Structure 1
Amino acid sequence: MIKLYDTELSGNAYKVRLMLALLGLKYERASLDLKAGQQKNPDYLAKNPRGQVPFLEDGAFLVRDSSAILLYLALKYGNGKWYPKDIEGQAEVQQWLATATGDIAEGMARARAIALFNRPGDKAAAVKLAHDTLALMQTRLKQREWLATGEPTIADVACYPYAALSPQGGISLANAPAVVAWMRRIEKLPGYVGMPGLPAQA
């Protein structure tokens, strides 16, 4: 049985819940109270020394980091979907995974964390980077339906949450209509589930 350690409002944890739902996989969910420090519990640290979420157990296999978990789930349970077999397609996916953990994390996700959770950081710099990243995504998605290939992949799952949640950080989507249309396509995928701040099941 798959077991996911997460927390409700984390966009990174939500990526994994979304991927599990899109794959139709049953799993046990252990939501940690980060404010109470449950992620620093010795039993949890013994499994996951980084003390972060999301974290996934699949039998004896343990994996941390949302991008690594998405890749693992796609390769093991995706039945040839969600991660391309050709090298060029894989490279396309990897560059958007890097965008998710780089510019999206430092822009959209950081602006949201500052606004909602009073996290430290330069809000103006985060908002500027968020708008720059949205412009990049807008250019890409004006030309195609999905970020990496002609089908939805883990690149879309990785980039969707914090892009869709970006208004919570004071970031307007008004100049990114192709990005908004892409979000609506994701929300119509079979198995889609939401989180607080995002649409519920289609």
Structure 2
Amino acid sequence: MSNTIRIHSFPLSGHAHRVELFASLAGIAHEVINVDLASGEQKGEAFLALNPAGQVPVIEDGDTVITDANAILVYLARKYAPAYLPSDPVAEAEVQKFLTLAAGEVAFGPAAARLINVFNAALDAEFCKTVAERVLGKLEAHLEGRDFLVGSAPTIADVAIYSYVAHAPEGGISLETYANVRRLLANIEGLKGFKPMPVTPVGLRAAA
């Protein structure tokens, strides 16, 4: 690869972690640039020039700038690691379904529950727990007899759901009764190049 991807990240962001994880799994040359969210660096002029939304992750690939975690996964897979995004239309549609799940129920369930516990976010804990249990139940049923979410090999679908599902216990969401989900997480963790997301202490205040 001629370019080294620059990943603008934050260590405690699951959205950012999925991009770092994929780059590591796929062997994509990359440099991680941590954005100081606590000091408001994401609202500064330099960062807003990259992403007017003021959010991580953002990648720079030469002159190309891509924002949004799932969009970045699709871009990187298409350009650098096509094995992670099936070309078969049905399989590709299945992958897209799980990207949507990651952006929807995973974000509003286990990810949001983690925001409450770890970052003291002002969210409805019972609602988050209900959504988390619903999405974990869906994943558990889907994974019966499967090693990965789509097909027999890992795809960006697995990467997209990993970070916040693996860290669901930080939000008080137990994975104890979801054996198939735990098996998927272990399968991902066993892949060459796997990169964990740091476990965060309960009660850490969110960056503004």
Gapped runs of 5+ residues in structure 2? 201-208
Aligned to 1:145: 147
The 8 Å contact of residues 92 and 149 in structure 1, kept in 2 or not, is answered as no
Q: Is the 8 A contact 1:92 1:148 kept in 2?
A: yes
TM-score (norm 2): 0.92
Identify the residue that residue 130 of structure 2 maps to in structure 1.
128
Match among 27, 30, 55 for residue 30 of structure 2: 27
Matches within 5 A, 1:50-199: 50-78=53-81, 80-197=82-199
Q: TM-score, normalization: structure 1?
A: 0.95
Structure 1: which 5+ runs fail to align?
none
Identity of matched residues, %: 41
> What CA distance in whole angstroms lies between the structure 2 residues aligned with 1:25 and 1:84?
18
My pick for the range that moved more, 161-170 or 29-38, is 29-38
In the alignment, which of 39, 42, 47 is matched to residue 42 of structure 2?
A: 39
Q: Deviations over 1:122-162 (max 9, x none)?
A: 01110111011111000011131111222110000000110
Does structure 2 conserve the Cα–Cα contact (< 8 Å) formed by 1:56 and 1:64?
Answer: yes
Q: 2: CA distance between counterparts of 1:5 and 1:23?
A: 18
Tell which has more relative contact order, 1 or 2 (C-alpha 8 A, sep 6+).
2
**Alpha-carbon distance in 1 for matches of 2:161, 2:46:** 31
Matched, 1:14 2:17: yes
Is the 2:24–2:193 Cα contact (8 Å) retained in structure 1?
yes
CA deviation profile, 1:160-185 (whole Å, cap 9, x unmatched): 11000000000011110010011000
Distance 1:34 1:175 in 2: 35
Give, in whole Å, the separation in 1 of the partners of 2:76 and 2:91.
Answer: 17
Aligned length: 197
1-structure distance, mates of 2:32, 2:138: 34
